Each structure stands twice: as C-alpha cells, then as structure tokens.
Structure 1
Amino acid sequence: MPFARAIDAEIHYEDSGGEGPVLLLGHEFLMDRTMFASQQAALTPEFRLVTWDARGHGDTRDEGLPFTYWTCARDALSVLDQLGVERAVLGGISQGGFIALRTALLAPERVSALVLVSAEAHEPTATELDNARRFLDKWQDDASRPALADHLAHSLIGEDKWYRSVWVRHWLDRDPHGTEIAAGALLSRDSVLDRLAEITCPTLVIHPTRSGVPRSHARTLADRIPTARYLELDGGHRTVNMTHPAAVNSAIQDFLRDHITPRPLSSPRVRTGEVPIPRKTPH
C-alpha cells in the first residue's frame, strides 16, 4: 500500500494514475477513501483521482495523538509531495472539505481549484458541541454503540440501507478511543470565515439540503470566496457523493472541464442514472 510520510504519521492514499489533472479528495469524518468509489469510476481516466485517509481513519498510520485540520492540511500536501505533484484540485466531503479549505489557505500556490461538498467555514455551534459530547459519552458504552451507529448512518447517508449497513459494521469495529481522538479535530475546528476572501482559485460549493450543514453557512462559504460556484442538491444527505453519484459526478466534471481542462468533444456528460454505484466495502 502506498504511504506519504508526514512528521509523525504515514498517510495512506490511492492513486488512479493517468495523465489528467490531479483531483485529491478527502473523506467525511469516520469514513475513509473508499467512499469515493463512484467518483473513481466516473471521473477517471479523464482526471487523475487521488483519495487519502486522514489521521484516525482508514489505513493511515499515526500515533493516536490529538490533531487539528491544519495538521491534516499539511498531510494533504505530503501526499502531493510524495506524488511529485506541484498543483492539484483539492476537494472533499464535510471533514474533507474542512481540510481542503485549510490547505488552500496554507499553500494557495499548490491548489488550482476547490470542490467542497457538505462543507462550511464556521466553527462548531454550541448545539453541535453539546450534542457531540453526549454522543461521544454514549459511544463509550458497548451496549449503546450499535443504536448510535445506526442513528449516525441514517443522518450521514439517509435511506440507502446497503451503505448504512456497511458503514455501521465498520464503525462498530473501530476502537472507541480512536473515534474520540478523531472527533477532537472536528469539534475543535476554528472558523476560517474571515480568511475566505484570500481564496482566489475556482471553487465549487455543493450543498445537499439534508446534510446537516445550515444553508446559510453553505451560502456564506460560497459568497465569501470570490470565484465560487454554488449548487444545491435537494434531498441529499451529507454523503451525497455515494447516494446520488451521478448528480455529484456531473457537477464536478463540468466544473473541472470549465476551469481546469477544455471539455473533450468526444466525451459525453455524465447524466443522472448513467453511472452505477460501485459497492466498495470500506477499510
């Protein structure tokens, strides 16, 4: 398995290869790179898709110490360094979007465009913090964890029973302590609202209306980035890239063709219903 070496971690990634523009995608909290199976099927080989596991997730090896999303932003750059890639499109789902934003602020010269799904630039609200603390307290109880995992799956994924069952099994196999550490990064994230005007690269903001991210937060994210394009996906949950892949893939493909590479004359657009959902089990 390929790894990029950070100061205190080995960051696992998968690389589709190819000569197309590089799209580096980061996953949602408690998930891993396998959540992008549909994007890999639809967007390659036109684009070189690189997916990676954040600290505390997937096959990345770290020391189990607290970290921040700024640390993860440097990890993303380590992956690009390992691949010898100077500039790439960065994107992600929720947590992955939080990291991509910070990477663009940390090293704007390395980021050619951003794709942000179910993301925001705000710090956690007081309600989010209170709910998370109660959730994490119960998560430590072996008897309560299965019901909590099912509730979490419904919130993040929606009605897709196959994906829900796969990720519930995955979460129940995780070390509860590791979940606590990973949650620390999510809940201690800082606001970057005042720095959004620094981002000048083309940006696509996709807001699923049932993602749990307030619409006002998503609109603010798009409005404060000077070059942002905003798209709402009605009825989509947080992980809309898995459950509604055709709509997400089409939006990403059109955006990248408009801003990163000319649209090939012989390459058709991805339309709803044309791309099957690859059922790839998470690691």
Structure 2
Amino acid sequence: MSKTEQTVEIPHLGGSTIGCTFAKPYDPALPTLVLINSYTTSADLYRAQFEDPALTSAANLLALEPYGHGRTRAGYQHFTYWDSAIANLQVLEALGIREAHVLGTSQGGWIAVRMALLAPDVVRGVLLLGTSMDFESPRSQELGCWDGIAFNTPVIDLLAAPVGEDWVVPDEFVDGVFGTAMGGLSEEDRAFWLAAYRTNYSGDAGRHRLRVSTVNLRDRDGLHGRLDEVRCPVRWLHGTADQVYSVANAEEEIRMFTASPDARLEIVEGGQHFLSASNPAEVDAAALDFLREPGH
C-alpha cells in the first residue's frame, strides 16, 4: 500500500489543518472518491479500501478526517457537521479537485449529504454506509434505531471536566464503540484501534475534541427537510446486523431523496454498522459500480 498521508491548511473555523490520506498519488485522469470516517475513528477505517487494487486503480481514494477526528485540528474549539462539510469542500478546492463522489460511514454519511447540499456542482454522487438522515428522534427509535441520547450522554458527562496531559481515552470507550459498530474486534484489530485512539485522543485537548464529537452525535440537526434538494445520485448500503441504525429507517429515508435521479438502497446481509470494515468486498464492488454508472 503506497498511501500518502498529509494535512491541508484551509481558512474555515479560524484556520484549520485537515487530515487527508490518498491511497496513492493523485491522478487527475481518474475520478475522486472522498471517504469520510465514522464517529471517533480516523482515515484508517478505510484500510481495506486502500488495499483493494481494483478500487485504487479506478479512482483516487481520498480520506478526509472530520473535525474532532484523526489529525484534523481547528482554530476554534467548537464545530458541527456542517463545518466538516465546508472544510472538506475547501480541501478539494485547495487540492484543485473540481468534482468528486463522496462516501461516508454513519456520521460520514450525513457529512457527505451536507457537502452535496452545499456544493451540488462539486459532488457528483453520494454513497452512504450504515447511516441515518434524522436527528436522534423518537421516530428513529420507533423504527428500531438505537437510543443515541442514552448512549452518548454518559460519555459527555464523563468528559466534562479538564484532565491532565497524561490522560488517554479509556480502553472501555474504544471497546464500547466497536462492540456496537462491529460486534467486537479480533485481538489484532483491537490492538490497532486502541493505539490509534490513544494517539488521537490524549491530553485535555483530546478530551475536548472527543466530547464535542460526542455532543455533535447526540445533538445534531436532522436533514429530512433538505433531502429533496439533493440532486445527485445516491446509493445507500445498509447491513442487516447494524446495531445503530435500522434497515427500516434506511428504507423510509431513501425515498426522501425525491430530486435525486437515482436513489437506491442495497441491503447487505450480515453487514455491521461500520460496513466498509465488516463487508469490504460488498462495499468496494458497490463503489466501483457507482463510479462507473453512466451519468455519475
């Protein structure tokens, strides 16, 4: 794997440094597929995609880490998902990439849709994995989605007080995230992610980034009133073993993209919430198909 890790400076939020990872050196002759990671993970969520020669030969894979995640830092201490969408668009502009498809897992999905709403001339299509377009609503729970308020509030409360510079995110937090999102990890993968989280979330600044990221997840705004303005193709993959958001919710929400010329839901049997990691073969095949569709 010849991935290229870099950061890009943009003006948003008082000046920001955005963590960017290319699967291989950028080729302007190929389409670009932006990859946006899920809650508290990093560009490493897409390790399997970066190692797929068919996918990396067909497109520039560019993982962009949202505010509060990975190597991304901002001049201002508070941020929302709209800010991450704006930042991603400013990164594409800084890199000279005039258009792209955008793939997002969970929170990455709603950042991708925000990008499509903000810059319809830039975003050619969105590929959604294990996501929801709602806020953490009673409707969402009635359709079998998790109780995001109950899950996130104890974390927000736990992270309220300043900590010393020797603080690192507790192992139990990482285990909780991946238990919910993947049904658990192998020992090798657990060791990898524990090391990554300890790097990304350490000291008081790391505590604060983690807390604001959790507040965003719990208190975000929904997109139902805006989905009829998404005018690009939408492909949504959802796993039957997703413990966070339900297939029933995805079936209802895909129909809300009424202005999209091609909005489709594909069910992945046995797929987990972090679908690109649990079912990379299905995700990579869908991404290739999506990129090659006429008009995409």
In structure 2, distance between residues paired with 1:156 and 1:234 = 15
2:10 match: 5
TM-score between both structures, scaled by the size of structure 1: 0.84
Q: Does structure 1 retain, via aligned residues, the 8 Å contact 2:112–2:126?
A: yes
Deviation for aligned residue 1:129 = 1.3
Q: Does structure 2 retain, via aligned residues, the 8 Å contact 1:114–1:203?
A: yes
Which one-letter code corresponds to 1:163 in the other structure? D
In structure 1, distance between residues paired with 2:191 and 2:241 = 20
> Secondary structure at 1:45's aligned position in 2?
helix
> Secondary structure at 2:51's aligned position in 1?
helix
In structure 2, distance between residues paired with 1:35 and 1:6 = 26
Which one-letter code corresponds to 1:14 in the other structure? T
**Residues 172-187 of structure 1 mapped to structure 2, 5 A cutoff:** 172-173=198-199, 174=201, 175-187=206-218
> Secondary structure at 1:232's aligned position in 2?
strand
Please, which of 165, 174, 189 is the counterpart of residue 163 of structure 1?
A: 189
In structure 1, distance between residues paired with 2:230 and 2:84 = 18
In structure 2, distance between residues paired with 1:111 and 1:105 = 9
In structure 2, distance between residues paired with 1:147 and 1:38 = 25
Change (3 A) 1:158 1:31: same
Is 1:72 aligned with 2:79?
no
Deviation for aligned residue 1:84 = 1.0
Please, which of 220, 235, 239 is the counterpart of residue 204 of structure 1?
A: 235
- After superposition, the C-alpha distances for 1:52-88 in whole angstroms (9 at most, x for unaligned) are 1111111112236111111111011011101112211
> Secondary structure at 2:86's aligned position in 1?
helix
RMSD, matched Cα: 2.2
Is 1:240 aligned with 2:271?
no
1:214 match: 246
- After superposition, the C-alpha distances for 1:100-123 in whole angstroms (9 at most, x for unaligned) are 011111111111111110111100
In structure 2, distance between residues paired with 1:180 and 1:136 = 6
Deviation for aligned residue 1:148 = 3.3
**Residues 129-144 of structure 1 mapped to structure 2, 5 A cutoff:** 129-138=149-158
1:56 match: 68
- After superposition, the C-alpha distances for 1:134-186 in whole angstroms (9 at most, x for unaligned) are 23334679899333331222111224313233223433451322210111222
> Secondary structure at 2:189's aligned position in 1?
helix
In structure 1, distance between residues paired with 2:210 and 2:265 = 32
Is 1:103 aligned with 2:120?
no
Change (3 A) 1:144 1:247: closer
Q: Does structure 1 retain, via aligned residues, the 8 Å contact 2:155–2:214?
A: no
In structure 1, distance between residues paired with 2:156 and 2:191 = 20
In structure 2, distance between residues paired with 1:11 and 1:110 = 19
Which one-letter code corresponds to 2:248 in the other structure? S
**Residues 7-46 of structure 1 mapped to structure 2, 5 A cutoff:** 7=12, 8=14, 9-15=16-22, 16=24, 17-18=26-27, 19-42=29-52, 43-46=55-58
In structure 2, distance between residues paired with 1:73 and 1:223 = 23
In structure 2, distance between residues paired with 1:196 and 1:82 = 27
In structure 2, distance between residues paired with 1:91 and 1:75 = 16
TM-score between both structures, scaled by the size of structure 2: 0.81
Which one-letter code corresponds to 2:196 in the other structure? H
Mean Cα deviation higher: 40-49 or 131-140: 131-140
1:146 match: 171
Q: Does structure 1 retain, via aligned residues, the 8 Å contact 2:153–2:218?
A: no
Q: Does structure 2 retain, via aligned residues, the 8 Å contact 1:56–1:64?
A: no
- After superposition, the C-alpha distances for 1:254-281 in whole angstroms (9 at most, x for unaligned) are 12212467xxxxxxxxxxxxxxxxxxxx
In structure 1, distance between residues paired with 2:78 and 2:218 = 12
1:89 match: 101
Number of residue equivalences: 261
> Secondary structure at 2:63's aligned position in 1?
strand
Unmatched runs of 5 consecutive residues or more in structure 2: 1-5, 139-146, 162-166
1:269 match: none
